[in-house]
Amino acid sequence: MSPRHFSLKTLAAAVAAAGLSLSFSAQAADTIKVGVLHALSGTMAISETALKDMALMTIEDINAKGGVLGKKLEPVVIDTASNWPLAAEKAKQLIGQDKVAVTFGCWTSVCRKSVLPVYEENNALLFYPVQYEGEELSKNVFYTGAAPNQQAIPAVEYLMSEDGGEARRWVLLGTDYVYPRTANKILRAFLKAKGVADKDIMETYTPFGHSDYQTIVADIKRFAAGGKTAVVSTINGDSNVPFYKELGNAGLKATDVPVVAFSVGEEELRGLDPKPLEGHLAAWNYFMSVKNPANDAWIKQWSDYAKAKRLPGQSTKPLTNDPMEATYVGIHMWKQAVEKAGSTEPDKVIAAMAGQSFEAPSGFTLTMDEKNHHLHKPVLIGEIRGDGQFNVVWKTPAPVKAQPWSPYIEGNDKKKDEPEKQ
């Protein structure tokens, strides 16, 4: 290689690099960075991968329609690896280094609890898209999933009604961590308020990743011999498959002992043969089977996106679910609030979020509460169908206001329905 040749090449490379960096800085000036903070590996990858893809699809869609405030959104995707201390570090990186305007992320309550101090300290914004146990209200978080009164309590009321089978005895079954424990504490207090005696409530927990439900199913069977029983399951994603398999094989049918689950959606049923589960219930704020134009369009958009990007699993059988809807709604609401505020400044966006509304795929117009950072959401109860979808058997006529501080927990009546001023 002659020296001249070499220098020419170097020059070309230098020019190219300069051009690149130029275009990069030009791009950086008119984009808004948004963080997507989900577990893409580890135990929670099953559930959270779809949320990451949904966030990317929504951002791409917003960009195709002109972006926000005339700027394109630039997603910064971070994998928490289902490791919660790491999630806090990654959140710090998103805010400090990447300077994102907002973060959409987390699934488990423990993830939210560990990143929360980071967001509060830096006065940044987090949109949390999953149903949770309440008992929290931060100025820096918008909760687009359900609070207990938007999911758990209506489900139990339904099972007590004539159509739900008039259950008198209750099995509260969950994975051993903060969400099931708190949810069951609220439910126990609620059941007691409805006149259910302590001996008619059985509360059981299993470790994370528990896979042998023989004893528990046998216990449920024995307990059900004492009167019409319903099971309220807060079993976490992965363990549901062995639980339902055992239930089906032990001959416990939904007509005898219905199981209502708060963490089982279309995505969790993917790994299951749904035939033996027909009739068991789930309570959510959205089901894929809901028929309305907004939902049809959204499902089509997702299927096209999944096929175009060849998302594993989703491209052959695209599924939407409640937390995905909450992610989608959250991103759109943030966009609306930014446009209203004319800025991505967290304090201005927080003020502009109050009262934002969005026509959601659930067929309802969801509104962000003026004060409490939670959405007003409809409650839908669905029975599992033979094809892994849900039949909506009951729904609220209108969206319900969230009660992050459940009135069934002592001392909550004194708590304010809005974040504390800092």
Partner 1 sequence: MTGYLRTLALLACLALPCLAHALTPEAALAMARGEGSSRIAAMQAAIADDPDERTAAFLRALAANEVAVADGRALIVRNGQAQDPVSGETLPLPASAEGVMNNNRMRGAINAALAALDLFAADAGKRLQAAHAMRQGASAERLPLVDKALAQETDARVKQALEQIRASVHLNAELPAERLAAIATLAGDASPATRLLLGERMAAETDDQVRSELQRALRKIDDRLAWGERLGVVFTGASLGSILLLVALGLAITYGLMGVINMAHGELMMIGAYATYLVQGVFRQYFPGAFDAYLLAAVPAAFLASALVGAILERSVIRFLYGRPLETLLATWGISLILMQLVRTVFGAQNVAVENPSWMSGGWQALPNLTLPYNRIVIIGFAFAVLALVAWIISRTRMGLFVRGVTQNRPIASCMGVNTARVDTMAFALGSGIAGLAGCALSQVGNVGPDLGQSYIVDSFMVVVLGGVGQLAGTVYAALGLGVLNKFLEGWTGAVLAKIAVLVFIIAFIQKRPQGLFAMKGRSAEA
Instruction: Provide Rg for the chain, Cα atoms.
Output: 23
Nearest approach, Cβ of residue 326 and partner 1 (Å): 19
Residue 117 within binding range of partner 1, rule CB under 8 A: no
Among 30, 121, 212, 304, binds partner 1 (CB under 8 A): 212
Choice between 67 and 279, CB closer to partner 1 = 279
The CA-based angle 61-345-76, given to 5 degrees, is 45
Q: How far is the CB of 220 from partner 1 (least distance, A)?
A: 11
Q: How far is the CB of 389 from partner 1 (least distance, A)?
A: 12
Check residue 365 for interaction with partner 1 (CB under 8 A).
Answer: no
H or E element in which residue 92 lies = helix 84-96
Distance CA 338, CA 221 (A): 53
56 vs 69, beta carbon nearer partner 1: 56
Collapsing DSSP to helix, strand or coil, 377 comes out as strand
Q: Is position 313 an interface residue for partner 1 (rule: CB under 8 A)?
A: yes
Q: Which stretch binds partner 1 (CB under 8 A): 25-33, 208-216, 325-333, 355-363?
A: 208-216
Which one among 19, 66, 96, 209 touches partner 1, defined by CB under 8 A?
Answer: 209
Give me 7's structure tokens: 């220098």
Whether the CB-CB separation of 366 and 145 falls below 8 Å is answered with: no
- Biggest CA pair distance of the chain: 93
Residue 229's alpha-carbon distances to 25, 172, 257, 323, in angstroms, are 63, 11, 6, 29
Residue 27 CB coordination number (10 Å): 11
**Nearer Cβ to partner 1 (122/289):** 289
Q: Determine the Cα–Cα distance for residues 307 and 312; give it in Å rounded to an integer.
A: 9
Residue 226 touches partner 1, criterion: CB under 8 A: yes
Out of 63, 93, 122, 204, the residue judged to bind partner 1 by CB under 8 A: 204
Under rule CB under 8 A, residue 172 binds partner 1? no
Site string for partner 1, 43-82 (x = CB under 8 A): x-xx--xx--------------------------------
Cα-Cα-Cα-Cα dihedral of 414, 118, 101, 22, to 10°? Answer: 170
- What spatial distance separates the first Cα and last Cα of the chain, rounded to whole Å? 66
Does residue 296 belong to the site contacting partner 1 (CB under 8 A)?
A: no
Percentage helix, strand, coil, to 5, in the chain? 45, 20, 40
The window from 92-100, 187-195, 246-254, 320-328 that contacts partner 1 (CB under 8 A) reads: 246-254
- Options 34, 241, 283, 329; binder of partner 1; rule CB under 8 A: 241
Interacting stretch for partner 1, rule CB under 8 A, among 4-12, 35-43, 320-328, 342-350? 35-43
Question: Tokens 């209502």 identify what position?
Answer: 260
Here the tokens at position 41 are 């590996």
Q: Is 200 exposed, middle or buried (0-12, 13-18, 19+ CB in 10 A)?
A: middle
Closer residue to partner 1, CB minimum distance, 19 or 209 = 209
Residue 254 neighbours by CB under 8 Å, 6+ apart: 277, 278, 279, 280, 281, 383, 384
Instruction: Sketch the per residue contact string, 123 through 162, with partner 1: x for CB under 8 A, - otherwise.
Output: ---------------------------------------x
Binding site for partner 1 (CB under 8 A): 40-43, 45-46, 49-50, 162-165, 176, 204-207, 209-212, 214-216, 218-219, 221-222, 224-227, 238, 241-242, 245-246, 248-251, 254-256, 258, 267, 270-273, 276, 279, 281, 311-314, 383, 391, 393
